[in-house]
């Protein structure tokens, strides 16, 4: 099976930039070469660690609390009639507009909030920019695949600032390594610990719970949300052979896995450890655990790690991951033989992700002409940036992706964004792509390549024929021609 | 507790299986299925805690299981059940006989994955992956030619996939499309067998532009659905979805906000439907219920038995429907959550059959395969 460069760039990459198809080697060699080295990550230089962000977040919350307290005492001094408004404030409601928002604490809180917002914009800009410029687009597709596999959504308030850092801190370093390491990095990242509530889960017989019982205080307890999604979504898959008992036992094993709190963040200051993970022995459920028929002795944080290590190498995990990966790159219903081949390679190489990727790239099925995927809105936009050599405007792109139905880091659920043509190819979705194609085309620099040669350079000659070629050559303006390129069916499919 | 309520409670008994649906009255209602009826399905993704939006406030087991997290001051619409206090408009509909809560109802799926349960609810079979299109999509196909379906959603939901007369809509991008570009694109899409029809249908959205002002939330989506469906010749089947109902921690404020949104949405849908409201059913469903007991973090975890709500002029409401299994330790499913006593397909079959007029044979073969043993609910419809 021949492996064309156009297929390497469009099916496995993020769409070609002009010049990309002129690289040496056939498509297969180009992809395997990308797996052999770590891509440059200059765009991500200087972004703060999650722990540093936490410190900033805690400062902002403290300033906001202080400002509220100041307003409250000011209101109390004014008159007793203000009591209902104060009650509303205490309950977390927005204060009335006339209660004043210009004290020093207010100003500090607003400035910190602005800083956090700007930090998040920088994260998104770096991510768009890297995708638009990387010369290892296959690796970037893999990063985004895993990021979606381990989906966290910023519409949950306390996850908002950490979704992009999780991709950067927990996924990028392991994308060409072992799944076990990526799994551990993700499940100990504050974004995931907060998103699926493990940060506040407490063992029913933990030291903290016992102390609360002694003091007759109300106490929190076990939360099984993260454990369930680890089994169902992250490792074994929903039919992977686990039961409710396994969910609870895993949830107990990972009690104590949490993120820095306010005081701890301040104690660490600038020396805060990277992701902000902390293990709280006092909330950990003591005792041995039994998951999937295997026993795990008490061992603090090591107990949960041991379970994850076994889950990572489980045959169900190998099949679940292989299926999703093959569906992502090859076909909505990937050939069973391909999935099995990838799973076997993964198991043989002790959970090495590169072995699984190589098994896919080396198989003929992955290059067959009828293997075909419809681009997600994100990949449609990124491939237009690359094809049109556009500069990245992160704010505009973030808004555009929301309208196209794939808002940045906001999947509807922990299952992540959907990954089949039926999910993205509705009439409304296609219409918005045509609108977006026009908007993006208007920004392509008319002094560069004309639409027809640009289409040849990014899609390859065989995809630019007949009416398409005629339309591109005859377009009334460069902008119209580029809109035709981006809106064309050839540009929506990963051929 | 006043003596009257205590009496009611005694009559219900903690273990009594309470049947509030009248005995099946056969398919006699079918003849009354008025033409031009409307069905709007509202799917709340994430598993809405039925015991929170429809708290059985008078059941002592409820107070024990929920403790401090029990709903304070529910709107008492019944001797046993109340509505969450955020749902004042819904309570007014209930009093007007236009809202019918259905208790302990869920899709046949009994495990605890959101995504599998939603898949099952939408595909209309007893298992995830049981069909690659949705029962509402197949339902559109069973309607007379010229009648259509509409999802107010950014991405076509599984529920409404499967028929070309179903489409989706979401607030558009501001820029108008150049007609010249469409002319150039037409032959290219015509030559793509997978996209040609999609393209032709997409070009119809040009006329449907709508200023995307404000936040497009659930309430706004329900208003749009009502406005689109309420006009003569409008879609007879509609679908609206919302996420954010998964409440693993500190659920009281979360659900207070979300239920207020749903409450506004029901009123907005009614206003949107206008005169067609009398021929309309809005069905609010979720994929499963949650644990009966509050968890360690002020929330609830995935469970089974959920609640549903029918609203509209075509509903005989002002009552509670469904079989209430009770909340006693031996009555709970796996000792942890509300048992399911009604298969959601029984409700869906009634809506598709009695309300939209889909023939029974099509219900059993096309819409809900292998559902012969499940009788459509009866007695829910205003006559």
| Per-residue H/E/C for A383-440 | HHHHHHCCCCCHHHHHHHHHHCCCCCCCCCCCCCCCCCHHHHCCHHHHHHHHHHHHHH
**Hey, is the C-beta of B260 within 8 angstroms of any chain A C-beta?**
no
Those of residues 320-339 in B touching chain A at CB distance below 8 A are 334
Among all residues of chain A, which has the CA nearest to that of B111? A244
Q: Taking CB atoms and an 8 Å cut-off, how many pairs form between chains A and B?
A: 158
Within 159-188 of B, beta carbons closer than 8 Å to A belong to 161, 167-173, 175, 177-178, 180-182, 184-185, 187-188
User: Phi then psi for A494, rounded to 5 degrees?
Assistant: -95, 90
Q: Would the CB atoms of B155 and A232 count as touching at under 8 Å?
A: no
Residues of A with CB below 8 A from B114's CB? Answer: 413, 415
Mean pLDDT computed over B293-303: 91
User: Nearest by CB to B181, which of A413, A421, A487?
Assistant: A487
By percentage, how much of chain B surpasses pLDDT 70? 87
A88 token code pair: 């509303």
In the DSSP assignment, the letter for residue B302 is B
For chain A, what percent of residues have pLDDT higher than 90? 72
C-beta atoms of B112 and A244 within 8 A: yes
Mutate to test the interface with A, among B185, B187, B203, B240 (most CBs of A within 10 A): B185
Report the pLDDT value the prediction gives residue B256, as an integer from 0 to 100: 94
3-class SS string, A74-93:
HHHHHCHHHHHHHHHHHCCC
Q: What pLDDT does A324 receive?
A: 98
Q: What pLDDT was estimated at residue A407? A: 93
User: Could you report the per-residue pLDDT of A33-56, keeping only the tens digit for each?
Assistant: 999 998 888 999 999 999 889 889
Classify each residue of A444-466 as buried b or exposed e, where b means 16 or more C-beta atoms within 10 Å of its C-beta: beeeebebbebbbbbbbeebbee
Q: Which residues of chain A does B170 touch, with a Cβ-Cβ cutoff of 8 Å?
A: 403, 405, 428, 432
Residues in chain A: 495
Say if B97 is an interface residue toward chain A (CB within 8 Å). no
Which helix H or strand E contains B347, and what residues bound it?
A: helix B344-350
Q: What are the angstrom distances between the C-alpha of A408 and each of A123, A340, A397, A405, B208?
A: 11, 32, 9, 10, 26
Contact between A236 and A320 (Cβ < 8 Å): yes
Cα(A454)–Cα(A436) distance, integer angstroms: 18
**pLDDT tens by residue, A419-444:** 999 889 988 899 999 999 998 998 88
Distance CA B161, CA B123 (A): 9
Length of chain B: 383
Q: Greatest CA separation found in chain A?
A: 83
Residues A16 and A4: their CA atoms lie apart, in Å, by 12
Alpha-carbon gap, residue A223 to B290, rounded angstroms? 13
Show the beta-strand stretches assigned E in chain B. Answer: 18-19, 38-44, 75-76, 82-83, 99-106, 149-152, 166-169, 237-242, 280-286, 306-311, 323-324, 342-343
pLDDT band at A71 (very low <50, low <70, confident <90, very high): confident
Chain A residue with minimal CA distance to B178? A438
Query: What pLDDT, on the 0 to 100 scale, is given for residue A428?
Result: 87
Q: Which residues of chain A does B301 touch, with a Cβ-Cβ cutoff of 8 Å?
A: 223-225
Interface of B with A in 266-285 (CB under 8 A): none
Distance in Å, alpha carbon of B223 to nearest chain A alpha carbon: 19
Pairing state between β B18-19 and A493-494 = unpaired
- The reply to whether B316 touches chain A by the CB within 8 Å rule is no
> Which tens digits make up the pLDDT trace of B88-120?
999 999 999 999 999 999 999 988 888 789 989
User: What gap in Å lies between CA B320 and CA A258, rounded to an integer?
Assistant: 43
The rounded distance, in Å, linking the Cα atoms of A114 and A98 is 22
**A415–B114: do the CB atoms touch at under 8 Å?**
yes
Angle at B292 between CA B287 and CA B295, to 5 degrees: 100
pLDDT at A455: 97
Q: Quick check: B16 pLDDT over 60?
A: no
Over residues B114-133, mean pLDDT: 89
> What are φ and ψ of residue A176, in 5° steps?
-110, 20
Residues on chain A touching B112 (C-beta within 8 angstroms): 228, 244
Residue with the bigger pLDDT between B274 and A372: it is: B274
> pLDDT of B243-280, one tens digit each?
879 898 889 998 999 999 999 999 999 999 999 999 99
Report the first-to-last Cα separation within chain B, whole angstroms.
Answer: 36
The distance of Cα B139 from the centroid of its chain, to the nearest Å, equals 16
């Amino acid at each position: 099976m021949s492996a064309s460069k156009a297929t390497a760039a469009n099916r496995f990459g993020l769409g070609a930039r002009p010049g990309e198809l002129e690289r040496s080697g056939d498509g297969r060699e180009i992809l395997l070469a990308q797996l052999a080295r770590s891509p440059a990550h200059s765009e991500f230089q200087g972004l703060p660690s999650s722990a540093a962000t936490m410190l900033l977040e805690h400062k902002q919350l403290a300033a906001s609390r202080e400002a509220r307290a100041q307003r409250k005492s000011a209101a109390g001094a004014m008159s007793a009639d203000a009591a209902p408004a104060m009650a509303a404030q205490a309950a977390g409601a927005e204060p009335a507009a006339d209660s004043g928002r210009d004290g020093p604490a207010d100003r500090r809180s607003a400035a910190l909030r602005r800083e956090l917002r700007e930090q998040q914009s920088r994260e998104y800009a770096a991510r768009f920019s890297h995708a638009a410029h990387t010369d290892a687009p296959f690796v970037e597709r893999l990063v985004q695949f895993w990021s979606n596999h381990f989906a966290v959504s910023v519409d949950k308030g306390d996850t908002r600032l950490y979704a992009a850092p999780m991709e950067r801190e927990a996924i990028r370093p392991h994308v060409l390594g072992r799944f076990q390491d990526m799994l551990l990095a993700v499940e100990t990242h504050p974004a995931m610990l907060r998103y699926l509530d493990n940060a506040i889960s407490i063992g029913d017989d933990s030291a903290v719970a016992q102390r609360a019982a002694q003091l007759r205080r109300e106490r929190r307890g076990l939360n099984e949300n993260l454990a369930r999604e680890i089994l169902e979504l992250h490792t074994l898959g929903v039919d992977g052979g686990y039961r409710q008992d396994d969910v609870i036992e895993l949830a107990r094993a990972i009690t104590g896995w949490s993120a820095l709190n306010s005081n701890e963040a301040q104690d660490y200051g600038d020396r805060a450890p990277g992701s902000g993970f902390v293990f709280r022995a006092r909330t950990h459920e003591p005792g041995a655990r039994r998951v999937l028929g295997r026993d795990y002795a008490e061992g603090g944080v090591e107990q949960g790690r041991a379970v994850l290590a076994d889950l990572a190498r489980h045959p169900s995990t190998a099949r679940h991951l292989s299926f999703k990966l093959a569906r992502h790159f090859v076909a909505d219903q990937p050939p069973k033989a391909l999935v099995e081949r990838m799973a076997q390679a993964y198991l043989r190489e002790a959970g090495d992700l590169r072995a699984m990727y190589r098994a896919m790239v080396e198989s003929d099925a992955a290059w067959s002409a009828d293997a075909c995927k419809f681009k997600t809105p994100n990949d449609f936009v990124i491939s237009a940036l690359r094809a049109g050599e556009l500069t990245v405007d992160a704010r505009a792109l973030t808004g555009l992706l929301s309208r196209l139905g794939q808002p940045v880091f906001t999947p509807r659920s922990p299952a992540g964004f959907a990954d089949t043509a039926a999910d993205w190819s509705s009439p409304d979705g296609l219409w918005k792509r045509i609108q977006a194609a026009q908007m993006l085309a208007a920004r392509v620099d008319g002094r560069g390549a004309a639409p027809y040669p640009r289409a040849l350079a990014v899609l390859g000659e065989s995809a630019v024929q007949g009416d398409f070629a005629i339309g591109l050559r005859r377009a009334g303006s460069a902008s119209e021609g580029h809109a035709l390129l981006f809106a064309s069916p050839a540009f929506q499919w990963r051929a | 507790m006043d003596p009257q309520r205590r009496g009611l409670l005694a009559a219900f008994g903690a273990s009594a299986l309470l049947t509030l649906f009248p005995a099946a009255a056969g398919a006699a209602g079918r003849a009354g299925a008025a033409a031009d009826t409307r069905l709007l399905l509202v799917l709340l993704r994430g598993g809405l805690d039925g015991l929170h939006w429809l708290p059985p406030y008078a059941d002592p087991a409820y107070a024990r299981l929920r403790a401090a997290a029990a709903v304070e001051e529910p709107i008492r619409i019944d001797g046993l059940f109340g509505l969450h206090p955020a749902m004042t408009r819904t309570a007014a509909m209930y009093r007007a006989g236009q809202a019918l809560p259905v208790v302990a109802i869920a899709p046949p799926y009994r495990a605890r994955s959101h995504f599998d349960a939603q898949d099952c609810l939408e595909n209309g079979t007893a298992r995830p992956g049981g069909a690659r299109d949705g029962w509402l999509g197949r339902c559109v196909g069973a309607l007379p030619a010229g009648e259509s379906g509409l999802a107010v959603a950014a991405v076509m939901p599984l529920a409404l996939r499967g028929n070309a007369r179903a489409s989706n809509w979401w607030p558009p991008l501001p820029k108008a499309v150049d007609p010249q570009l469409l002319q150039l694109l037409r032959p290219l899409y015509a030559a793509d067998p997978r996209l040609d029809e999609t393209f032709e249908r997409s070009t119809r959205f040009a006329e449907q532009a709508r200023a995307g002002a404000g936040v497009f939330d659930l309430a706004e989506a329900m208003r749009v659905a009502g406005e689109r469906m309420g006009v003569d010749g409008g879609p007879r089947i509609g679908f609206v979805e919302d996420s954010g109902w998964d409440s693993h921690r500190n659920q009281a404020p979360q659900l207070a906000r979300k239920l207020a949104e749903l409450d506004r949405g029901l009123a907005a849908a009614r206003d949107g439907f206008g005169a067609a409201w009398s021929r309309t059913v809005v069905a609010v469903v979720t994929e499963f219920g949650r644990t009966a007991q509050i968890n360690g973090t002020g929330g609830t975890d995935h469970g089974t038995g959920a609640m549903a709500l029918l609203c509209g002029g075509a509903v005989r409401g002002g009552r509670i429907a469904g079989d209430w299994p009770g909340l006693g330790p031996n009555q709970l499913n796996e000792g942890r959550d509300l048992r399911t006593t009604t298969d959601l397909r029984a409700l869906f079959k009634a809506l598709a059959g009695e309300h939209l007029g889909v023939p029974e044979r099509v219900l059993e073969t096309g819409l809900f395969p292998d559902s012969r043993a499940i009788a459509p609910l009866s007695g829910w419809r205003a006559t």
